[in-house]
Amino acid sequence: MTAAAFFDLDRTLMAGSSAYHFGRAMYKAGHMSRRQIARDAIEQIRFRVQGASDAAVNVLLVRVLEGIKGHRVVDLARMTPDVLAGILPRIYPQMLDVVRSHQDAGRPCFIATAASEPAADILARALVMDGAFGTRWEMSDGVYTGRLDGPFAYGEGKAEALRRFAAERDIDLAQSWAYTDAVSDLPMLEAVAHPVAVNPDAGLAEVARERGWEVLRFEKLGERLRVAGAVLAAAAVGGSGSWLAARRRAHAERGRLRPRFR
């Protein structure tokens, strides 16, 4: 058996929530309204500053399942480049250094997330990690049904998925690491030998202090507010900044075509 390292995604590997960038891609593809993307931007700010609550995560899950219901699997898969374009610039370089250190020591590294497992697999490949597990969405005849295919990989559900994933790959959790920001991931942290709190929320910070766990902190409140404000500004112009970009292109084109007098 081998040791491994498992990394939560939102506010652990990346700044903010991956769900917002999925919503932004849905908006660009015409599957979400401007009002919905603006609402998600506000939720993103709340998440950046405070972290997520169980109630908020469950509400988001219902919205995601309702949003994908009836859509072809291939249509959502085609949004992957837009989703990655939002996520990749927000990956913490400090956490990539941690990932590379584990890999160089011979330990495979995996994303462990409540987000979509197929999307997490693609992101893992982009980051040159060794795989991922997450929440699976049920599909029928190439169309999403709006139901889960298995447990929601959140809280105890994530720990359950972790144990199953490790058993399938002959990974010894008694020698492994787990990284996360949220107290909701306490079951996952308790399942491994080396739990690490990353930019922890208040609940996890207290548990880590009481138990003497390692804590990594590199995100400050001012930076969270600055990035969150940029997210809201992007939503105000259509979820991706495309409106502003179009205005700039049109202005440049008018300048190029305008007669020049000497």
Per-residue pLDDT of the chain (262 residues), as tens digits, is 899 999 999 989 998 887 766 766 665 655 554 555 445 444 544 444 444 555 556 666 666 667 677 778 888 788 788 888 888 999 999 999 999 999 999 999 999 998 888 889 999 999 999 999 998 878 889 888 878 887 888 899 999 999 999 999 999 999 999 999 999 999 999 999 999 999 999 999 999 999 999 999 986 644 554 444 444 444 444 444 443 343 444 344 334 433 333 3
Side-chain-facing half-sphere of 192: CA atoms under 13 Å:
26
Domain that holds residue 134: 5-257
The reported pLDDT for the residue numbered 70 is 76
262 in any annotated domain: no
What is the helix, strand, coil percentage profile of the chain, to 5?
Answer: 55, 15, 25
8 is a catalytic site residue: yes
Residue of 8, 40, 82, 130 marked active site:
8
Q: What is the C-alpha to C-alpha distance for residues 179 and 157, in angstroms, rounded to an integer?
A: 16
51: CB partners within 8 A, 6+ apart: 11, 181, 182, 201, 202
Report pLDDT for 48: 43
Residue 60 belongs to a domain: yes
Tell whether 66 is covered by a domain: yes
Q: How far apart are CA 23 and CA 116, in angstroms?
A: 13
Domain membership of residue 22 (yes or no) is yes
Pick from 106, 101, 123: which is nearest to 9 by CA? 123
CATH number at residue 17: 3.40.50.1000
Query: What's the CA dihedral at 63, 32, 147, 127 to 10 degrees?
Result: -90
Domain-located, residue 203:
yes
CB < 8 Å & 24+ apart, contacts of 162-170: 162/6, 162/112, 162/133, 162/188, 162/191, 163/191, 165/110, 165/112, 165/133, 166/4, 169/4, 170/1, 170/2
| Cα 32–chain centre separation | 19
How confident is the model at residue 27, as a pLDDT? 54
Residue 69 falls inside a structural domain? yes
CB–CB of 146/68 below 8 Å?
Answer: yes
Residue 198 domain flag: yes
Contact of 234 with 241, CB cutoff 8 Å? yes
pTM of the model: 0.72
Q: Which of 10, 82, 130, 201 is catalytic?
A: 10
Q: In this predicted structure, what is the pLDDT of residue 262?
A: 33
Q: How many residues does the chain have?
A: 262
The number of distinct structural domains making up the chain is: 1
Residue 250 included in any domain: yes
